Amino acid sequence: MRDQDEDFGDTVVRCHGLQSLTCDHFLGSCQVSGLDVPQTLLNVVSLVCQLLCVPLSLDISTEILNEVLRTLKEEQVVASLLQVCSVLPKGQVETPLCLLSRLVLMEEEFLSQFSSKASSSEDVVSWLRRTVWSGPDCVIIELLTLFSHLIRASPINCALVQKIVGDWDKMLCQHLQTLDAEMRSVACSLAGNLSRLGESLSTSVAENLAYCLSDPDNRVRRSAAFAVGNCVFHRSCTGDGSFWVSAAASRLLMLLRDPQAKTRVHAAMALGNLGSLSADGGDLPSLLMKVPQSLLHAACTDQEDAVRLASVISLRSLSGISHICQQLWALNASEKLAALLTNNKRSSPRAPSISHHCQRLLQQLALDSA
């Protein structure tokens, strides 16, 4: 007797066969039969997509889930979903796109199918471009998340996303200023991933990212701190950066007290990158002179090990700059770091890393004092 998981797996596989048939033959069959093509297409696609979502949301056996995913790969389901999305009405693509996004985020082979289909179809590229600029908010959020994942997965995909989007700066500024907080958050993440690859972003984008550092939504603040840190580290923002650097420094200093530990981590790393700008010999906002003191305070007092570690790493990267090293000496950093080293909890997974970077920072300060 077959168990329910096996029956369920066969059902999903058969549903996927229907989905492939839909993409290849459906439009022609509807026209021959005299059916209402748009409505019938929408009804069938919606039903099939809902059924295909079931194994991704239920607690089924790993063996059956792997079999379902294997079949979806063989049937090129991601390519079929992209084709379907490009012909559906603008307000009806959320369900198939969410399914597509879930698959692409799950496994690299689905991501490769997405890249291959988008690269080979001008119709798909045209639909993606129209939608990421002016689609429904929920759909734009899915696409921006997909684009970030594509870029993180391989720098090669950056050219494809650039082909789809067109003007990075204009699109990012538009979505960074939207009323939807989740969209602002994913736009910040995309900007941060682009910066990580060395893509040039305008001063306007940087200023919008700095503004997002004080966003009322914690997701936006977290993503903005990540993006600003990458922009500074990779020197990816073009033009005069004095205004946005000053604004970013002020807001990042405040984020060291943010309720979310992950936001404080990103803020500490970003402040280390901002402080390192002084090594370039340029004029710096006076606020940046507060960076060593704030990072030292976070390293010694924050309740989260991840924040203490990020702060110590940033201090270590700054310790090679003469005037910052002098500031650290004036702040009695050696004594405070030695106390941190003594009190460091060995039970914490990050304790060895904190101790390692503390010791190296203390060694650097000792050399500079000699």
Q: Are 107 and 69 in contact (CB under 8 A)?
A: yes
Range in 7-21, 81-95, 175-189, 267-281 the model is least confident about: 7-21
Q: Tokens representing 143? A: 């696409």
Residue whose pair of structure tokens reads 């997965």 in the numeric block: 153
Cα–Cα distance for residue pair 163/128, rounded to 1 Å: 10
β partners of residue 237? 201
Whether 337 is in a domain gets the answer yes
Highest mean pLDDT among 28-32, 267-271, 326-330: 267-271
Residue 162, CA distances (Å) to 113, 128, 150 in order = 18, 11, 11
Q: Could you read off the pLDDT of 151-170 as tens digits, one per residue?
A: 999 999 999 999 999 999 99
Q: Could you read off the pLDDT of 48-82 as tens digits, one per residue?
A: 888 888 888 888 788 888 888 998 999 899 999 99
- Residue type at position 344: N
Mean pLDDT of 267-285: 74
Cα–Cα distance for residue pair 43/45, rounded to 1 Å: 6
Q: Could you read off the pLDDT of 237-258 as tens digits, one per residue?
A: 766 666 788 889 999 999 999 9
Q: Are 80 and 97 in contact (CB under 8 A)?
A: no
Query: Residue 1 — pLDDT band, cuts 50, 70, 90?
Result: very low
pLDDT for res 360: 93
Among 127, 106, 131, smallest CA distance to 118 is for 127
Comparing 287 with 131, the larger pLDDT belongs to 131
Mean pLDDT of 332-339: 92
Show the domain range for 364: 308-370
Comparing 232 with 56, the larger pLDDT belongs to 232
CB atoms within 10 A of CB 366: 10
Within the chain, residue ranges assigned H as helices are 4-33, 37-57, 62-74, 77-87, 94-106, 108-120, 122-134, 137-153, 157-165, 168-176, 181-196, 203-212, 218-233, 242-255, 261-275, 291-301, 305-318, 322-330, 333-343, 351-369
What residues contact 79, with CB distance under 8 A and at least 6 apart?
A: 113, 114, 116, 117
pLDDT for res 26: 56
- Residue type at position 342: T
Q: What is the mean pLDDT of the chain?
A: 85
Query: Residue 2 — pLDDT band, cuts 50, 70, 90?
Result: very low
How many domains does the chain divide into? 1
Whether 356 is in a domain gets the answer yes
Backbone conformation region of residue 198, classed left if phi is above 0, alpha if psi is from -120 to 50, else beta = left
Q: Are 356 and 319 in contact (CB under 8 A)?
A: no
CB atoms within 10 A of CB 94: 17
Comparing 52 with 224, the larger pLDDT belongs to 224
pLDDT for res 60: 79
Whether 73 is in a domain gets the answer no
Whether 186 is in a domain gets the answer no
Whether 51 is in a domain gets the answer no
pLDDT for res 133: 96
pLDDT at 21 > cutoff 60: no
pLDDT for res 32: 56
Q: Tokens representing 314? A: 């940033």
Whether 362 is in a domain gets the answer yes
Cα–Cα distance for residue pair 119/44, rounded to 1 Å: 27
Highest mean pLDDT among 27-31, 84-88, 158-162, 338-342: 158-162
CA dihedral 356, 362, 366, 368 (to 10 degrees): 100
Cα–Cα distance for residue pair 139/359, rounded to 1 Å: 49
pLDDT for res 19: 46
pLDDT for res 20: 46
Among 98, 6, 122, smallest CA distance to 45 is for 98
Whether 134 is in a domain gets the answer no
Q: Note the Cα 5 to chain centre separation in Å.
A: 35
Report the chain's terminal Cα–Cα distance, integer Å: 80
Whether 324 is in a domain gets the answer yes
Instruction: Enter the pTM of the model.
Output: 0.86
Comparing 181 with 57, the larger pLDDT belongs to 181
Cα–Cα distance for residue pair 77/157, rounded to 1 Å: 20
Q: Could you read off the pLDDT of 96-127 as tens digits, one per residue?
A: 999 999 999 999 999 999 999 999 999 999 99
